[in-house]
Amino acid sequence: MTSPITIRLGRRARERIAADGLRPEDVAIIPAAAGGPKGLILNGIDCWLFGSWLPQAPRQRALVGASIGAWRMAAAAFHDPVAAQRRLARLYAAQRYPAKVDAAYVSRTCRALLDEVLDGRGAEVLSHPGHRLAVLTVRGTGPLAATGGVRWREMAGFLRAAASNALSRNRLAASMERVVFHDGRDEAHWLRQPFDAFAGHFVGLSDANLRDALLASGSIPLVLQAVSGIAGAPDGNYWDGGLIDYHLHLPYQRDPGLVLYPHFADHIVPGWLDKSMPWRRARDAALDNVILVSPSPDFVASLPNGKLPDRRDFKFYGQDHAARTRDWSRAIAESERMAEALARWSERPDLRQALAF
């Protein structure tokens, strides 16, 4: 029977698992990619991972995410992570928008969604005994620093940024900075030392900025409004962290532990604008200690419409909200099969089933 998951291992991860097996106490970092509705397919793994497997060996762990990945990692840091993950998936799948909608409407809807996910208990996320949350966002610079909420200026700024990125990812750094909103207890953050061309700012998470940071991390340009006036952060316009860190190509090799990465794809694309450039997929030493777990092609083919949930579904289903919610909910339910497969593999890892990057 075909497995519902694909597993890829970095060199160091393979060697360590060959020697010691896969143990929760060895996992130091959990990344979570941007990708909108695609992240729903990881709900089963999230519930198993944070609800039963990792608690077997409590330790300090870095949870780092962008966009829906940041929302998933925030849910993971609640006292009851399973209830929070299920709440997030249910509310996300139930989103409804009229046929004609503007960015202000989408931003209000997402802000209300986050309010329900946080449920007035954001302090739990910031005080978890072991988890240290980091939310990745993008701060506009150059033309993107002064759009003033004017749509054509925003569009012109992002077209210019896309043109620069097409020439070189490093050139994108002239238009954007990475801003990491991180657990205030983790001052010596593992991302502080520069590792790419993007300037970085580090802002401590607090009750005053948690929701705004999460909203900014998922604020897709032209779809949602930029978030500004975030408490404790540099002035400016903040957008989706996936613009720079789509699949989170981060310097994982800095940590001696393992990186367990549940992902909706079996590869890592550095930035959102790199999606159509397969030659930019990550294959470097940063992935040496990474365990990448993703849905297998056969599993994806078994889902409604033979694919993962994605943003195009809003247009495909139109105003048939019930049908979209039904099919997304079915995909969420099917994700339990991925969790079961990963649980079995973790008990007795078969390295013959694991691919290399």
| 230-287 residue pLDDT tens | 999 999 999 999 999 999 999 999 999 999 999 999 999 999 999 999 999 999 999 9
d(CA 64, CA 74) in angstroms, rounded, equals: 9
The answer to whether the Cα torsion of 63, 68, 71, 76 is positive or negative is negative
Reduced DSSP (H G I as helix, E B as strand, rest coil) percent helix, strand, coil of the chain, to 5: 50, 15, 35
| Residue 161 DSSP SS3 | helix
The answer to whether the Cα torsion of 111, 112, 117, 119 is positive or negative is positive
The mean per-residue pLDDT over the stretch 10-28 comes to: 98
Residue 100, token pair as written in the block: 């004609």
Cα 188 from chain centroid (whole Å): 22
pLDDT digits (tens, 9 = 90+) for 196-214: 999 999 999 999 999 999 9
pLDDT digits (tens, 9 = 90+) for 110-127: 999 999 999 999 999 999
Residue 56 binned pLDDT confidence (cut-offs 50, 70, 90): very high
DSSP state of 345: H
Sequence-distant (≥ 6) Cβ neighbours of residue 89 within 8 angstroms: 40, 43, 332
CB atoms within 10 A of CB 328: 26
Q: Which residue type does 61 have?
A: R
Cα 298 from chain centroid (whole Å): 23
Residue 339 binned pLDDT confidence (cut-offs 50, 70, 90): very high
DSSP string, 272-333: GGGTT-GGGS--SGGGTTEEEEEE-HHHHHTSGGGS---THHHHHHTT-HHHHHHHHHHHHH
Are 153 and 139 in contact, with CB atoms under 8 Å apart?
Answer: no
> For residue 226, what pLDDT is reported?
96
Return the ∠ at Cα 104 (arms to 98 and 105), rounded to 5°.
Answer: 25
Residue 187 binned pLDDT confidence (cut-offs 50, 70, 90): confident
> For residue 271, what pLDDT is reported?
97
> For residue 195, what pLDDT is reported?
96
Residue 142 binned pLDDT confidence (cut-offs 50, 70, 90): confident
| Strand bridging mode 354-356 / 5-9 | parallel
> For residue 242, what pLDDT is reported?
98
C-alpha dist (Å) from residue 98 to 106, 151, 220, 317: 10, 20, 18, 12
| Residue 266 DSSP SS3 | coil
Residue 149 binned pLDDT confidence (cut-offs 50, 70, 90): confident
> For residue 147, what pLDDT is reported?
79
Sequence-distant (≥ 6) Cβ neighbours of residue 142 within 8 angstroms: 157, 174, 175
Residue with tokens 């209830």: 83
What length is written for the chain? 357
Residue 20 binned pLDDT confidence (cut-offs 50, 70, 90): very high
> For residue 1, what pLDDT is reported?
64
pLDDT at residue 148 tops 80: no
Counting residues of the chain whose pLDDT is more than 70, the rounded percentage is 100
Are 249 and 178 in contact, with CB atoms under 8 Å apart?
Answer: no
